[in-house]
Amino acid sequence: MNDLEQLKRLCPPPANRSDQALPAWESVEQGLGIRLPDDYKRLFEEYGPGSFYDFLSLYQPQSLETIDIEVQTPKILASLEKRCEWTDYSLPYPIAWLQPVAVTDNGEYVFWVAETKSNPDLWGIAINEASGDDWFTFDGTITAFLRRLCEGLEVPLFPDSLLERPPSFRSSSYTPEDWRRAHAINTAPDTGPVDSEDIREWARSQGYDVAPRGRIPAAIRDAYEQAHR
């Protein structure tokens, strides 16, 4: 039994998920400039938008702005960079390795540790303390982490009372289909501003996969702009 099947046994997903529209994964990955782990895609397809324990919410494709993975990724990484610049805060990994995957109600960010962009299925997990300098790491996928959490894994950064209640998943009413109705996805080729080559060079130095020509993903443009403000 794999991690997803064990997670479903411990914390059943919502019923009738097969009736829901699935994200346009190719568009999401183009927007982020990376390939996402397969287990994350299967996890989202099984559970959909929502939160575990009414506490931990996955960043989601094509969702509300506050939890949209494309919208939040550059904002979170820019915030980390500024914190490192303005204080003595240090990261346990290069910032180019960190890709947000979830957030807690207390403000902890859950990151993939994307040491190798070419094989996202090997990414581990790192969680930063919301109001301190501590980090928690987990050697496994986001699905494996959630499965272990439901089995009683103690994460020192999380509230002591979290595991006193049984595992649960609460669905959000907002779906990728709602997002598609509210947004016109622009797939037109990028004509590129004057500094497009600068953006590409910066993106490569930060570990992003970016094509030598054509449309630069919006998430990479946003990250570049945040880094050069």
Q: What is the pLDDT of residue 156?
A: 95
Q: Based on the structure, what is the number of domains in the chain?
A: 1
Is 49 within a domain?
Answer: yes
Q: What is the pLDDT of residue 191?
A: 44
**Residues in Cβ contact with 52 at an 8 Å cutoff, skipping those fewer than 6 apart:** 11, 146, 149, 150, 167, 168, 169
The share of the chain scoring above pLDDT 70, in percent, equals: 82
Q: DSSP states of 187-214 as a string?
A: -PPP---TTHHHHHHHHHHTT----SSS
User: Among positive and negative, which fits the CA dihedral 153, 159, 165, 166?
Assistant: negative
Is 179 within a domain?
Answer: no
Residue 60 gets which letter from DSSP? B
Q: Which of 57, 73, 48 is nearest to 208 (CA)?
A: 73
Q: What is the mean pLDDT of residues 69-88?
A: 89
Is 11 within a domain?
Answer: yes
Is 129 within a domain?
Answer: yes
Tell me the CATH number at 31. 3.40.1580
**Residues in Cβ contact with 222 at an 8 Å cutoff, skipping those fewer than 6 apart:** 74, 75
Q: What is the mean pLDDT of residues 160-187?
A: 68
Interstrand relation of 56-58 and 98-104 (parallel, antiparallel or unpaired): antiparallel
Q: Rounded to whole angstroms, how far apart are CA atoms 124 and 111? A: 8
Q: Rounded to whole angstroms, how far apart are CA atoms 138 and 127? A: 9
Q: Which of 200, 221, 203 is nearest to 212 (CA)?
A: 200
Is 161 within a domain?
Answer: yes
Q: What is the pLDDT of residue 175?
A: 52
Mean pLDDT taken over the chain: 83
Is 175 within a domain?
Answer: no
Higher pLDDT pick, 192 / 66 = 66
Is 199 within a domain?
Answer: no
Angle (CA) 29-221-211 rounded to 5° is 55
Is 216 within a domain?
Answer: no
pLDDT per residue over 91-117, tens digit each?
A: 999 999 999 999 999 999 999 999 988
Range of the domain at 40: 3-170
